[in-house]
Amino acid sequence: MHAFDLKEVQLMVRQFCDELPGLLAKHTVTAELVPRLSGLRNEIDSPFTVAVVGQMRVGKSSLINAILQKDLAITGVTETTATINWIHHGTNSDIACIHWRDRPPETINRSSLQQWTGDSKLAAETRYIQLFDDAPFLKIATIVDTPGLRSVIDAHTFATEQFLGLGAAIPEQTDLPADHCSKNSQQLGSQADAIVYVLMPVARESDDDFIESFKNNTRLPGSSSYNSIAVIHKWETLNSDNVFAERDRKATQIKKALGDSVASVVAVSAPIARAADTLGDDNLAAILKLARDTELTVLYKLLRHDKAFQRPADLCSLTVAERQDLLSLGIPWPSLKTIVSSAVEIPILNVDEFRERIRQMGCIDNLKTELEQRFFSRSRSIKILSLASKAWEPCQLAQVRLRNVVSILRSNISRSGALLELVRSRVKRGDIDLREVELHMLASRDLFDMQLVAVNQTLSRLGEITGQLKSIHSDFAGDLRCLEYVDKIVLITPLDDLKPKLESLFGRSGVTLIDRLTEFTESNDLINELEEMIDELNGIKRASNGEALFLCKHAIHRLEQIADVFESRNVPLRIVAEP
C-alpha cells in the first residue's frame, strides 16, 4: 500500500504491534523481542511538542494562554516562570505534578504554584512541572513554558538551555554567567518539534540593533531554522500612527534581516487575542458605543494615554465610570487602545462580528496555522520515520534469528533423513529392535518439518511487514530530503516553475493525500495533470545530477503512487478540487 498520512501509518503500525507479539512469541529465539514493541504502542498517538522560548518578561506565558484560550500559565509583571512547565492534555486541570531534583514526584493543587515563581527556593529544587488541561490544542501538541533566557536569575537560563539540550546540567550553585552554554551541547530541540522564539518589538535606535540582540541574547546557539519560528509579540506597543501597517512592516523587515535564523516570523498580540475570549458582550457593546457615538476629535484625545482615557469629556458616549470599568478589565492599555481604534476604522455590525475582528487582530490563529503547516506537517514525516524504523528493528532482528533456526532445522532434517535411511536398512535386514527407533526418528523428522513450515511462515510475514515499513521509511525520508532541496531552488533552476507543486507534493502543507495535492487543482483532469508533470520531470531529470536528480526521481515516484491510488480506489476528482 502507499501511505501518505500519519493516521494511515499509525493504523498500520498499531496493527503490526497487535500482530507481532503473537508472531514473535511462537518461537523461543524471538519471544524476548516482544517487550520492545510495548513502548512503540505508546508512541503512536503521542502529541507534538512546542517549546516557547524568549528573554524574561516578553510575555511567553501570556502567549501560551492565548493559544490555549485559557489562563493556565502563570503570568505577572515581574519575572514569573521559574521552572520548565510541561502542559499536557488531560482532564484534571486542578493538579500539578512536581518533579523534584532529589526526591520522588509529588502531586499538588495547581493553586499552590505561585510558590514556584521568581527566585523561589522550591523552583530551584524542581526539575520540571507537569500541568494538565483539556484545551483542544493540547490534543495536537504539548506546550513547554520555559524560564526567561538572559534572566537575572541564572538558574532560569540554565533550566531552559538544559531542556533544549543546549547546556550542561544545572549547577549546584547559580553564580555562573547567564550566557554559559556547553560547546559540546546536543542538537537544538532534541525534545521539541517546534521552537517559538518570543520577541518584543522594542523601539531601538535601529532594527539592526534589534536583530543583533536577537542573535546574541535570544536565539539559542547552534539552533536550526527548520523548526524555529519568531513571534513579534505585543505589536500594538509600537509607536506609530498606523500600528497595523507598522506591525506588518516590522515583521517583514525582521524576517528579511533574520534570514536563515528562523523559518518564519509572525506578529502576534496575546493580550488582544485573549480579550476576544474574555470580554463579555456588554464590554464589547460599550466599546462599540464609545467608538461609534463619540466625536472623533474627543475620542482621539481620550486615546492618547490611559490617564487621558479617564478624564471627563463632553461629547463622549461613555461616562468616566464606564471608561474606568473598561480599564479595570485587565487588558493592557496599548491593547485596549488598539481594540477601540479598530472599532472606529473598520465598520462593524454587531458584537459577534467585533469579537471575531479582535481575534483576527490578535493573530493567534495565524500562529497556529504556521505551526501546523510549517512544523507539525514536517514533524509528522519525522514521526513516521521514527515509527517505521522502531517497528522494523525488532522485525529485522527476529528475521536474522529465525533464519539461523531455519539453517539448524534444515541441517537436522538432512541428518535425521540420513540416519533414518540407515536405521531402515538395518530393520529390513532383520534388526527388529530398531523398529521403535525408526518410528521415533520419523516423528522427529515430522516435527522438524512442522517447525520449519512454522518458522518460514513467520519469516514470510515478517518480510512483508518489514518491506512495508522500509517502503514507508524510504518515501518519507525522501520527502524530507527533497523539501530541504526545494528550499534552495533559485530562479535559474529549471525546477523553479514547479516549486509550489513540489512543496505541496513533498508535504510542506501537510502529509495527507489531499494536502499533497493543494497545488494540483487547476485542471479538471487530475490524472492528466499528474502525467504531464511526470513528463516534465523526466525531461529535467535527463539533464540533472546530484540532489536535483534525486528530487526528480523521487517526485516522479510519488506522483506515480498518487496516480495509482486514485485509479485503484476510484477516488472522485472533485474530492481533490473541493477538499
The string of DSSP letters for 492-535 reads TSGGGGGHHHHHHHTTTT-SSHHHHTTT--S-S-HHHHHHHHHH
Q: Say which residue, 499 or 6, is predicted with more confidence.
A: 499
**Element spanning 233, H or E:** strand 228-233
Least confident span in 387-396, 418-427, 558-567? 387-396
Q: Say which residue, 312 or 74, is predicted with more confidence.
A: 312
Categorize the per-residue pLDDT at 353 as very low, low, confident or very high, splitting at 50, 70 and 90. very high
The per-residue pLDDT for range 250-308, each reduced to its tens digit, is 888 887 777 767 778 899 999 999 999 999 999 999 999 999 999 999 999 999 999 99
**What local confidence, expressed as pLDDT, does residue 82 receive?**
64
Q: Please, what's the b/e burial string for 452-462 (b: 16 or more CB within 10 A of its CB; e: otherwise)?
A: beebeebbeeb
**Most confident stretch, 53-62, 267-276, 421-430:** 267-276
What is the average pLDDT score of the chain? 79
Q: Say which residue, 13 or 563, is predicted with more confidence.
A: 563
The per-residue pLDDT for range 197-207, each reduced to its tens digit, is 888 876 444 44
Q: What is the percent of the chain where pLDDT is above 90? A: 30
202-211 long-range CB contacts below 8 Å, 24 or more apart? 203/238, 203/239, 207/250, 207/253, 207/254, 207/257, 208/257, 210/254, 211/254, 211/257, 211/258
Can you say whether the dihedral through the CA atoms of 490, 491, 495, 501 is positive or negative? positive
The per-residue pLDDT for range 115-171, each reduced to its tens digit, is 877 667 888 888 888 999 999 999 888 888 887 654 433 444 444 444 444 333 333
Categorize the per-residue pLDDT at 215 as very low, low, confident or very high, splitting at 50, 70 and 90. low
